[in-house]
Structures are given as C-alpha cells and as structure tokens.
Amino acid sequence: MCPKDKIIIAYINWAHIVQQRICSSLLSLAHPNTAVLEKILPPLYFTYAQTLYEMFVEEKSMSWDNEYKNFGNVWGERPSELAITAVKYLQKNRSNNMILSILDIGCGYGRDAFYFLDNIRCRILGIDISEKAIDIATNAAFKAQKEDVKIQCCNFTKLKEGKYDIVFISNLYQLLKKNEREELRKTVMRTLKPNGLLFLGTLSERDPEHYGKGTPVPGESNSFQEKVYLHFCTKKELVEDFTFLNIKELYKHEYCEPRVTGEIHHHISWILIGEYVGTSYNSG
C-alpha cells in the first residue's frame, strides 16, 4: 500500500471516530426522537444518532431480558414497598366507588399490577421494555383470569396518548440517565389527568446496597456504573425535578428486599407522592 492510500485510510478512520463521538455526545444531551436533534443534525448524522440510540435501548432491554430469563420473578411474588404504600394511601384518601385507571411504567413481571387489582377497584396498563418480563406477566394474568390488566412491551418514550388517575413508577428512575429521567417526567406530565397522582420509588443517596459501588460517572454527582448505571437522588433534586407536582409526601424508606436467589438487599429509597396540578401538557 502506498503512503497516499495509508493517509486516506487513516483519514477515513479518524472521520468515522469523530462522527461517532459527535453523535454519542449529542445523544447524551437530547433524545433522538425530539425535533431538536432533527433540526441541528444533518440528515445522515441524525439517522446515525437514531441507530445508535436504538442499539442502546436494544442492549438495555436485552440485559433485562437476561435477568428475567435467568431468575424469572426476580423479587418473588411479594409487591414492592411502593405498591404497599400506594394501596394504603389510596384506600385512605380516594373514594372506593371510583374505578381508578393506573399506568405502571417499568412494570416488570407484573407483581405490583396484580397487587393493585387484588386490593383496589382499578384498571391497569403495565408497560416494560423487556419482552421476557411481559411474557411472564401476560401468562400470569391469563392464568389468574385477570381481565382488568393490559400488559404491553413498550419503551415509555413511545407510549401512546392516554390519561390516567395514577402513574406508578417503582425502581425505574434510578436506572435512567439525566436525559432519560427528563423524558420520563415528560411522560408523567402527558399521561396524568389533572389531580392525578404520581407514586415514585427511587434509590436515595443513602442506599447502603449500591451507593458508591462501581465507577463514578464523570461529570455527574451520585451516579455510578456498576453492573448497570445507577443514579441516586437527593431530596433537593427530586423537589426540583417534580416542580410540576404538588408534593404530598416525600420521605426516605428503609427496607430489606428478599430476592429469588436467596440474597437479601438492604435499601434506603425515596417515596414520592405528588398530585398533578397542571391541566394539560403537549409533548409536541
């Protein structure tokens, strides 16, 4: 190969790396589905950024698929701590005559959705990106003849329009990067009815099980890359993130969580209950 060819190949490789870096950094700033990226990126780069983002989502859903394939009902049949809190709160504060519509985002294999159905009058849509989790939940709903629950394999960013009395999110917020957390908040705004309630459970900066383990994420406080990315919220951050809600309760909750593997995890999580005070939100 002559020196001129070598220079051309080196240039192509360099251009490819630069292109990849630009797309990745833009992706970490904005979501590729937003009109923003489409406006600022030339078409080829936009397509490339979208492909990279889809690969990232695909990788994430595959890693959850593996978790559910290997361990099935990872946290057993017991409901999450947030579901127990939500049921108590709703039994006390909302009229039992009303049939509540509930959206469970990141529902996993449906343990909380079934708990809601057994304890309050409601209809539920559970969504999750893991096909395996959705298979387990769908089979369980079919066996138990639970007709008031719908389960869908879907990323919350792609959720179709719909308004709910309750949006329920247990142990998902901590897994999302900054721009994804913002997307999730937008999803909450567009799916909650006026006066609807958000129940959110997410790991706190005092979590003894995972905080400080793995590699700190550069440029972010309270984020670590262990087996998965984890972000640990502070109270101040949650108050700032959810200014569109009238926060009814926000407190730390300490508990031990048994897993099917026999391990017991010790957590300190935030429990946030907020009422949506807005009237409409257009994600446009």
* Footprint of ligand SAM (CB under 6 A): 60, 64, 75, 80, 106-108, 111, 127-130, 133, 155-156, 170-172, 175
Q: Where are the alpha helices (DSSP H) in the chain?
A: 3-29, 35-40, 43-71, 81-93, 111-119, 131-143, 178-191, 235-241
Question: Which residue number, 157 or 222, has a Cβ lying nearer to ligand SAM?
Answer: 157
Contact 102, 165 (CB under 8 A): yes
Question: Which residue number, 5 or 59, has a Cβ lying nearer to ligand SAM?
Answer: 59
Smallest distance, Å, CB 72 to ligand SAM?
12
Question: Which residue number, 57 or 239, has a Cβ lying nearer to ligand SAM?
Answer: 57
| Token pair listed for 20 | 């990849």
Hey, which residues does 200 pair with through a beta bridge?
169, 272
Contact 200, 259 (CB under 8 A): no
Distance CA 203, CA 86 (A): 17
Smallest distance, Å, CB 175 to ligand SAM?
6
Smallest distance, Å, CB 112 to ligand SAM?
6
| Token pair listed for 152 | 């869908």
Question: Which residue number, 11 or 71, has a Cβ lying nearer to ligand SAM?
Answer: 71
Smallest distance, Å, CB 279 to ligand SAM?
26
